[in-house]
Amino acid sequence: MQQSSAIILGIESSCDDTAAAIIKNGKVLANIVANQSVHEKYGGVVPELASRAHQQNIVPVVNEAIKQAGISKEDIDAVAFTNGPGLLGSLLVGSSFAKAFAMGLNIPIIEVNHMHGHILAHFIEDENELPPFPLLCLTVSGGHTQIVKVTDYFNFEIIGETIDDAAGEAFDKVAKMLGLPYPGGPILDQYAQLGNPIFEFPHPKVKEHHFSFSGFKTSVLYFLKREIAKNENFIAENRNDICASVQKTIVAILIKKLKGAITATGIKHIAVAGGVSANSELRKQILSLTEEGCTTYIPKFEYCTDNAAMIAITGYYKYLENDFATQQLVPNARMKI
């Protein structure tokens, strides 16, 4: 490592949140996120509208981050940005901005993989203890469900992943069936906390440490259809219990596979990352792994869902390694970890 002190601007625009953060030597000075409410009425993210909203938000969000950090833009040593995976048009806004901003200041740019960022959110210096390596990380977001073996800041091995829908997608799609607004995951979580998990849904049979949520989603759909045929107010009358049952099943599927991976690898340092790690039941179940001899790491809420602090911290570690990108780099919507 050659550099030791750095101020990094992180930019995240892979989906529907426009975010900027400033990190100085591993500590967050500012972490700003602008959510896009424009998608709510469509029940999902509309890529073209997301790109336009990013264009509107990016300059004020970056300005606000610099202001809140109490620095001037000339103090920034490098700009880290999400280069994938994500929506191409959304990635283009963040990456083009990052390149232009860095070129204007004559400072380097750093490419960050969004999923890498979710994992390294654990290494933001906070009051929390930083996890040691090797680490098993359950990464659960709207687009991904993976169990990743993390051996250092840059070495990852995916030991299990979903063969169809992601866990966040399962939450959002079931929430949509229940008539909840997008994104339904956090709302479903709130109702679940008011209900009891009295309905049973089957668990998928998938080999090794892999996941599947598509059959589960279909089973909820048929269950609702059957019950609504008997009582047209079934959802309204049982909303909290349905949410609690759905949440319990999704979390149970995740935890069962995670436990299998813990046994197979012998790794006892367990982390959870990605938007679904904000889920109350998942946080509870992850914490209870301590009873089985594991040490668990759960990021603060603001570092679970999409944010730029996780991009800036990844950028910081890459900066220490002089791992810079060129202005010729293009976004990669299907970037692998």
Residues in a beta bridge with 147: 138, 160
Does residue 17 belong to the site contacting Zn ion (CB under 5 A)? no
| Per-residue DSSP letter, 105 | H
Phi, psi of 233 (to 5 degrees): -100, 15
Does residue 145 belong to the site contacting Zn ion (CB under 5 A)? no
Does residue 171 belong to the site contacting ligand KG4 (CB under 6 A)? yes
Among 160, 274, 315, 331, binds ligand KG4 (CB under 6 A): 274
- Choose from ligand KG4, Zn ion, none: what does 171 bind? Cβ within 5-8 Å by kind: ligand KG4
Rounded Cα–Cα distance for residues 224 and 236 (Å): 11
x/- mask, ligand KG4, residues 67-96, rule CB under 6 A, reads ------------------------------
The two structure tokens encoding residue 176 = 């949509």
| Per-residue DSSP letter, 211 | B
Using CB under 5 A, which of the segments 81-89, 98-106, 123-131, 302-310 binds Zn ion?
A: 302-310
Q: What is the dihedral of CA 161, 162, 163, 164, to 10 degrees?
A: -160
Using CB under 6 A, which of the segments 45-53, 97-105, 151-159, 183-191 binds ligand KG4?
A: 183-191
Which parts of the chain fold into alpha helices (H)?
Answer: 47-69, 88-105, 114-120, 167-177, 184-192, 214-230, 234-265, 280-287, 309-320
**Total of residues contacting ligand KG4 (CB under 6 A):** 18
Does residue 148 belong to the site contacting ligand KG4 (CB under 6 A)? no
- Radius of gyration of the chain, Cα coordinates, nearest whole angstrom: 20
- Choose from ligand KG4, Zn ion, none: what does 168 bind? Cβ within 5-8 Å by kind: ligand KG4
Among 8, 9, 15, 178, binds ligand KG4 (CB under 6 A): 15
Among 18, 141, 212, 307, binds Zn ion (CB under 5 A): 141
Does residue 306 belong to the site contacting ligand KG4 (CB under 6 A)? yes
Does residue 306 belong to the site contacting Zn ion (CB under 5 A)? yes
| Per-residue DSSP letter, 178 | T
Cβ distance to Zn ion smaller for residue 102 or 308: 308
70 exposure class (CB count in 10 Å sphere: 0-12, 13-18, 19+): exposed
Q: Which amino acid is at 336?
A: K
279 three-state secondary structure: coil
Cβ distance to ligand KG4 smaller for residue 27 or 284: 284
Cβ distance to Zn ion smaller for residue 31 or 141: 141
Rounded Cα–Cα distance for residues 252 and 333 (Å): 30
- Choose from Zn ion, ligand KG4, none: what does 279 bind? Cβ within 5-8 Å by kind: ligand KG4
Rounded Cα–Cα distance for residues 197 and 152 (Å): 39
| Interacting residues toward Zn ion by CB under 5 A | 141, 306
| Interacting residues toward ligand KG4 by CB under 6 A | 15, 141-143, 168, 171-172, 183, 185-186, 189, 274-276, 278-279, 305-306
